[in-house]
Chains A and B, each alone.
Chain A
């Protein structure tokens, strides 16, 4: 060994006085690059859809409950918890995030004495990088999800006003599959649907073109799927997470995509017609969606069901209110005929209170479900209202449904902004009239479906918002009527309700029409219930207030639908009927989880 070899290890000492290449405390001194993929951050926009959890290939994300965060419509109440023993910082979760709440900070080192600390819930746990503005964010033009809804073919306004043909044509199979493909299956919509339909599951069945499974899934919670696939108020779509950056999934139309592909003749084979008889009977008052839904689920549980219906056909307001260009009769029949085919008896032209007494129903049946809806139009209660050219919106729609001419003339004013007003206006356009809709509030306050408002405008109806009718006067011709209306200013409601219109007396208008169609609201009629029974039942304003499972203080009586809920739409009536059927089953000793 040479001398050089012997002393060379000591040369290293000279390095001891040079500036080192490594750093002592890298965490403090070396920030990550601006787009570095460090630890996760989550903003308040997160609604806990769990799409990040589904996409993560390393199973590094768990959706977990967070203290102080409740589940509410459109928010699961869960938040993503990250496991840094598994995460590989691929950022797929950030790229897919439906609300763009998830980011990666550029923090990459985290020293703690807690051995379990490689788990944390982003945005909720107090981490030092929660306010970090750098790191990885998805670029605006980079999308893993398809944001645009697949358009459905529909009649153009010029064509649609020419008759009563259905306006929406339904998806082709290819279109339906493409639309179903957009769903991320988060299930946020399920809690918001009044019937809690298993939306992601039936959307999956559309994707798989498995319509039999789809139909079975629909009927678990909704025996009016052909109807709801067309006219449902689609509350689910208002919370669909795809709506945050694009169009919500066309949930309503995907329901229709299933039923449109299963012919009525196959329903019994697919859904089964093996209904046993348990020897008990239930009377149902009203063959609207509420009554018929209860009838369906009760029949499935083995009850003998008799429905007492005042009209000659079943369907309630879906038959006599909703016009056929939105819901063709044969589609409503498809739903109703299947229910009846299971042995549900409907006694038509039977008005409870006139043709049979309420007492006789209580005596005959083991329980009674009442869903008589709201069929008494509210009066305008302004001077001159009794003029023969002032018509009720419900009556006009009823005439049209029965093939009668409501005699509206060529120039029509419709008062109101709900479903009845919009349908009366659109029906009037189809009968060739020039239509003006007068509404007391703003267009955005209208209770009618926004699609309907839009379509009515496209079809040529003129909407006049903030217009308060104050008087009806005779016109020069007896075949006409004059309406006096004043402009309204909106004032805020101190208690947080919708803004309220206040008449401005100095801004009044007068206009003459062939008729004025009043559609300002409806009430119910339950005078057939004897007063000593009514005393046992709770009411608020003009509605029933049912207890658990839609039961009233009169134990044998269950109620639902428009007369007992504030939402007043078909799907809520359907859910009430389903819920009451379970309640009646429990009441009569059946299993609680039927």
Chain B
């Protein structure tokens, strides 16, 4: 990945893959409300994809200067193998962990690259993923950890 456009294409493709991941899980889900939940995760990823597309078209800037809170919720939760009877709790864990992996990927890339423009782009993407992770962490905190 040598150009900003290539990086964005990569990131857009990853969002699409994430959306596909959730919708295929939704197809398999046994419970209707999990189906709906997973479809909403998939739509969330499509929204991310749409945002990156508008960055690519130059309609939007990707900033990397914001502090995004890391609640570290996913850090100490076990890895979950998604299955057809996945629960809401486990689906949220999967989602948090996926966003965290994406955040790590982009931050690592930013660290290894010298070109300032590309570095900035990776940092911007990392920040986006951190925001997505925060979204799922907050949901986990509110919906699952109600009494904790």
Contact = CB atoms under 8 A, between A and B. Distances in A.
Given A500-B138, A535-B32, A542-B143, A383 B78 contact: yes
A229 B31 CA distance: 38
B83 to A, nearest CB: 14
A476 B45 CA distance: 46
A314 interface: no
B87 A523 contact: yes
B33 to A, nearest CB: 4
A497 B140 CA distance: 13
Given A416-B148, A520-B148, A521-B146, A503 B88 contact: no
Interface in A443-502: 447, 468, 470-471, 491, 493-495, 497, 500-502
Contacts of A500: 69, 71, 138, 141
A531 interface: yes
Contact of A491 (B32, B69, B78, B90): B69
Interface stretch (A17-25, A51-59, A115-123, A374-382): A374-382
B93 interface: yes
Interface stretch (A26-34, A101-109, A192-200, A417-425): A417-425
A447 B76 contact: no
B57 interface: no
A502 B72 CA distance: 6
B59 interface: no
Given A491-B69, A503-B72, A418 B146 contact: yes
Given A415-B148, A416-B148, A527-B30, A468 B89 contact: no
A1 B138 CA distance: 105
Interface in A501-534: 501-503, 519-523, 526-527, 529, 531, 534
Contact of A520 (B35, B36, B93, B145): B145
A420 B147 CA distance: 8
Interface residues of A, number: 44
Nearest to B30: A527
Contact of B33 (A447, A521, A539): A539
Contacts of B78: 381-383, 385
Chain B, interface SS category: helix
B31 A379 contact: no
A493 B32 CA distance: 31
Interface in B108-148: 138-139, 141-148
A171 interface: no
A527 B89 CA distance: 16
A440 interface: yes
Contacts of B93: 381
Contacts of B77: 381-382
A363 B93 CA distance: 39
A439 interface: yes
Contacts of A383: 76, 78
A441 B141 CA distance: 11
Interface residues of B, number: 31
A539 B36 contact: yes
A543 to B, nearest CB: 9
B76 A471 contact: yes
A541 interface: yes
B7 interface: no
B30 A421 contact: no
Given A381-B78, A539-B36, A416 B147 contact: yes
Given A415-B148, A534-B32, A381 B141 contact: no
A534 B88 contact: no
Contact of A503 (B36, B37, B75): B75
Contacts of A419: 147
A534 B31 contact: yes
Nearest to B88: A542
B36 to A, nearest CB: 6
Contact of A418 (B138, B141, B147): B147
Interface string A80-102: 00000000000000000000000
Nearest to A541: B143
B33 A534 contact: yes
A468 B73 CA distance: 10
B27 interface: no
Nearest to B141: A500
Given A468-B76, A521-B148, A531 B32 contact: yes
A541 B136 CA distance: 12
A535 B90 CA distance: 22
B142 A439 contact: no
Given A382-B77, A500-B71, A503-B72, A520 B147 contact: yes
Contacts of A531: 30-32, 35
B70 interface: yes
Nearest to B87: A523
Nearest to A439: B148
B145 A527 contact: no
Given A381-B77, A468-B76, A541-B88, A440 B143 contact: no
B145 A541 contact: no
A537 B77 CA distance: 32
9 contacts: A381-B93, A417-B148, A491-B71, A500-B138, A502-B71, A503-B76, A534-B31, A541-B88, A541-B143
